[in-house]
A = this chain, B = another copy of it.
Amino acid sequence: MKVKPERFLADLHALRRFGARGGGVVRPAFSDADIAARDWLAERFAEAGLTPRFDAVGNLFGVAPEAGGILLGSHSDSQPEGGWLDGAFGVIAGLEVARAAREAGLGGVSVVSFSDEEGRFGGLTGSSVWSGAMTLAEADRLTDAAGVTLAEARAALGQRPGEAPPPERFSAFIEPHIEQGPWLEKEGKVVGVVTDIVGIRDLPIRLTGQQNHAGTTPMAFRRDAVQGFVAAVTRINAALEALAGPVTVWTVGRVEVTPNASSIVPGMVRFWVQWRDPDAERLRAMEEAIRRAVEAAARERGLGLEFGRLFAIDPQPMDARLVETLARAAEEELPGRWRRMPSGALHDASNVARRMPAAMLFVPSKGGISHDFAEDTDEADLVAGLAVLARAVAEVAAKAA
């Protein structure tokens, strides 16, 4: 098969016009721009000989006539202030490969743009419903930041939705995506073959001290929740540095102080510790270390301690045979200029992997920047990623034939 880089780049720029702002896009799920972009995609799918099919939650499939083939794609919704390639690259690369496959007489390549990957209603919503991780009724009760339910928002799809093609119709899934991190660029690589999507743990923690007057309460008698927080994070850092693997990350991104006034010894701090790693055993050991670190800090300072409910997404290894196929294609297209790597971000492939062999392909993000209007990738790298994808799909198709 022979992909056409100019056609691919032209479609990518055409998609960029929907919700365009400041070099990026504003295309949250079910917005006018998101639905208009999907209507435009549906036309491209039809032109490519694929049957456009919306499902109830807004996923848009371009279904090849031949059952049992491969599914390619990602998502075309965006963050509230998103980049132009996040999701879009994977959908348009999939479209171009499906088109080239059909032109080469191969057929059997379908394409998808999942709905609400970026989380207006929580994240990965469309692929969660399609893969069966969540029912449509459950999804319908999700609300966005303004209190709108998904049920209300998806009414904007009007008469578009029908039956989704069942996951059983497809034999495998490959999601091309931008890296959204700095590694490929820093190492001068052009393509990343994803080995695992990391697991995530997020633990809410509450430290309770004694709210008091900041002038009349001597230091020795204080039970200060902010000081407890500082001690807890210091201990967490020390414990996790000892456990960390090469791609382990942890973040304290959310902190809420009560009553949060300069003249009052703070009585309560709620904070969230999030950590990610591809190794489930390391994730478990980190949880244990975090709990012990916070317990020690609370004990030392006479603070009450309550752990909230742990949020957990397990690591998702990519399908070993698909990974090898992508690795061979990358080495043939770009000898020495690719690497295997985990994905630190979640992707629709995490959900789809529950139903069929799944894998992912990364291209570099300039400066590691994503979820920002400044997000970008060199056109040469986008085209190189497309070429690796096409070569891998051709190999899968040849084996299936």
CB pair B244–A214 under 8 Å, yes or no, is: no
Contact between chains at A219 and B198 (CB < 8 Å): no
In the complex, the count of this chain's copies comes to: 2
* Assembled-state Cα–Cα distance A221/B266 (Å): 32
Q: Complex: how many Å from CA A101 to CA B263?
A: 38
Expressed in whole angstroms, the minimum distance between the Cβ of A307 and any Cβ of chain B is 15
Closest B-chain residue to A251, C-beta based? Answer: B214
Per-residue contact bits, chain A 268-293, to B (CB 8 Å; 1 contact, 0 not): 00001010100000000000000000
Question: In the complex, which residues 231-285 of chain A have their Cβ closer than 8 Å to any Cβ of chain B?
Answer: 233-234, 237, 244, 247-257, 260-266, 272, 274, 276
Known contacts A234-B234, A274-B262; A249/B217 CB under 8 A: yes
Give the chain B neighbours of A373 by CB distance below 8 A.
none
| B233 and A227 contacting across the interface, CB-CB below 8 Å | yes
A373 to chain B, nearest CB (A): 13
A151 at the interface (CB under 8 A from B): no
Evaluate whether A215 and B368 lie within 8 angstroms (CB atoms) in the complex, with A226-B252, A255-B255, A260-B255 already known.
Answer: no
Residue among A234, A263, A272, A370 having the largest count of chain B Cβ atoms under 10 Å: A263
Minimal beta-carbon separation of A235 from chain B (angstroms): 10
A276 and B215 in contact, given A226-B255, A255-B226 (Cβ under 8 angstroms): yes
Q: Is the interface of A mostly helix, strand, loop or mixed?
A: mixed
A127 at the interface (CB under 8 A from B): no
Interface size class of A (residues with CB under 8 A): 35 or more
- CB under 8 Å from chain B, chain A span 178-213: 179-183, 198, 200, 202, 212-213
Distance of A221 from chain B, by nearest CB (Å): 6
Q: Contacting A221 at CB < 8 Å: which of B182, B215, B244, B248?
A: B182
Question: By the criterion CB–CB under 8 Å, are B255 and A262 in contact?
Answer: no
> Among the interface residues A202, A249, A251, A257, which one has the most CB atoms of the partner chain B within 10 A?
A251
Q: Cβ of A148 < 8 Å from any Cβ of B?
A: no
Instruction: Check A262/B202 contact, CB under 8 A, given A226-B253, A252-B227, A254-B257.
Output: yes
Which partner residue on chain B sits nearest A252 by CB separation?
B226
Closest chain B residue, CB of each to CB of A255: B257
- Within 8 Å of chain B (Cβ to Cβ): is A348? no
Report yes or no: A368 in contact with B221, Cβ–Cβ below 8 A.
yes
Contact B198 A215 (CB under 8 A): yes
Q: How far is the CA of A183 from the CA of B182 in the complex (A)?
A: 56
Shortest Cβ-Cβ A-B pairs, 8 listed? A181-B216, A215-B344, A214-B251, A216-B344, A262-B272, A215-B345, A180-B216, A230-B233
Other A-B pairs, 6, CB within 8 Å; known A226-B253, A234-B234, A254-B257: A213-B345, A218-B247, A219-B248, A254-B261, A255-B257, A255-B260
20 A-B Cβ contacts within 8 A? A181-B216, A181-B217, A182-B217, A182-B221, A213-B344, A213-B370, A214-B251, A214-B274, A216-B343, A216-B344, A218-B249, A224-B251, A226-B233, A229-B230, A230-B233, A253-B257, A253-B262, A253-B263, A254-B257, A254-B262
